[in-house]
Amino acid sequence: MTESKNSKIPIYAVIFTVVFKLLFLLTRYIQEDSFITWRVAQNLLDYGVIGFNGNTKISASTTHLYVFVSYLFNLIFGKENFIVPILIFNSLLFTIGSLFLSHLVLKNPWHKAVFIFLLGVLPPSIKISILGMEYGLLFFLEMALLYYGFRKHKTWALIVLPVLILFTRIDTAIFLGIVFLVDTYFNRRLRVKYILGGILGISVALAFNWLYFGELINNTIVAKKLLYDHNFTTQQNIEYFTSNYGNFWGMLKLPGNFNPLTIVILLFELLCFIYLIRQKEKRNYFLWMIFLFGWTKQIIFISQKSLFDWYYWVPQLLLFVPVLIFVLEQKVKRNWWLSLLILFYILPMLAFQTIHSIATGNGEWNYRRKMGLFLGNYEKDKNQWIFLEPAGYIPYFSGLKTIDEVGLVDKQIQEEIKKDKKNYWINTVKNRKPKYLLSYQDLFEGENAEYYKAHYKILKEFRVKDYIKSDNKILEKIYKLKPSGTDYNLYERLKD
């Protein structure tokens, strides 16, 4: 009876962790790119087309499977009410994924429960859960593959889950590849069913892209590569790495080019990993998978100069797993080790993420969203175009057709970038004559100022300083401590 009751403790931990993290919904911190995915889902709902602007097909979202999930949530709850349910759903999926992971690396139910909670309140876990992106779904699928496919040896998991994983994000080929290599090395044989699942997954993802969009690679990948392509010298590569490595491997972004905390964390993670794999436990099989994947994913994306921090959330967590196991399984002074970890790492990280979420949520929801609402109320004709960057909050809440600077949601601009990368912005404005321009810069000053003055008027200036005020003095201090957002100028085209 006691054993049966103890086996449910990790389940209770899942419920408690999800409920605890729901507090972060109050911060209204939702990632800009989530609104791109959700608008694609709503475009599918309204026009029957996976796109962003009416009936034009485009893979504007990085993730296909999450688009369909978002579509279902819009269908069930409606456009006005789906956001909170899907954020809760994402948090639940992530935490169930951490439950699967705990089964792979721990035996004691109480250890699993503490592991689930502590892993769940780290900054990347909070962001995965409540920022609205596809990583809750992805983490769930990846951990389900390890648990059901490689722990329980379920054939369906080895074949079906790789398909779903690759249909969520094509770059998950890195995860599937590392799992394949470690499994082959440990078992000294090829797992044919898993190979079949991988082949099916790649085939489904590429075939869907080709048959529906007429392209093999997602437009988002092509667009980012086209605009962000840089030819760096060796010295520039070194400077780039030293100024960014802390943001990638660490769990928080600190100013400056040297982040000693990240180095300490990395070394401790590595030492804990070495300590654990020397124990010759069965779980080493899974520890090698997640640890090698964490390092490989980080190195590949850093080498490609991928600045977006969400690429590193899952690797950050998986690299930290050996630390949690090491602390939880200490037979001498375990409570002392656990207290030190919570006091000097978990709580500061939780406090940091709380402040970050409140400040960024203010900048995104109270500032950028209101820009979209203003424009949506001002312009009733939703067939008018706006040219801006980024393509999240403002297009979503304004409802206008959108050209984004990168070309994520509009392919035509990519042709302008190919023809004349230096002048593609002004060329797009001249050729397509969007009714609205939203810019970080004052367009009435600079090289093309005369053209803008002749064809556009400034409609409204949006300033971050106007949104870092609050009647609540604590919130105001947080807003001023970490002001979030960028000053914008909104321009409207003059009548010809």
Give the pLDDT confidence score for residue 169 in this predicted structure: 94
Q: Of 210, 220, 227, 249, which is closest to residue 66 (Cα–Cα)?
A: 220
- Name the DSSP class of 283: T
pLDDT above 80 (res 396)? yes
CA–CA–CA angle 390, 391, 394 (5° rounding): 100
Tens digits of per-residue pLDDT, 414-471? 999 899 988 999 999 999 999 999 999 999 998 899 999 999 999 999 999 989 888 8
When mean pLDDT is compared across 150-154, 170-174, 258-262, the lowest value belongs to 258-262
Give the pLDDT confidence score for residue 127 in this predicted structure: 95
Domain boundaries, the chain: 364-493
CA 306 to CA 225: how far, in whole Å? 10
Tens digits of per-residue pLDDT, 79-113? 999 999 999 999 999 999 999 999 999 999 999 99
1: confidence class by pLDDT, cuts 50, 70, 90: very low
Percent residues over pLDDT 70 in the chain = 94
Sequence-ordered list of residues with C-beta below 8 angstroms from that of 210, at least 6 positions apart, any chain: 216
Mean pLDDT of 149-162: 97
CB-facing half-sphere around the CA of 459: CA atoms within 13 A: 19
Tens digits of per-residue pLDDT, 37-70? 999 999 999 999 999 999 999 999 889 999 999 9
pLDDT above 90 (res 288)? yes
CA 97 to CA 290: how far, in whole Å? 13
pLDDT above 70 (res 351)? yes
Q: Is 169 left (phi over 0), alpha (psi -120 to 50) or beta?
A: beta
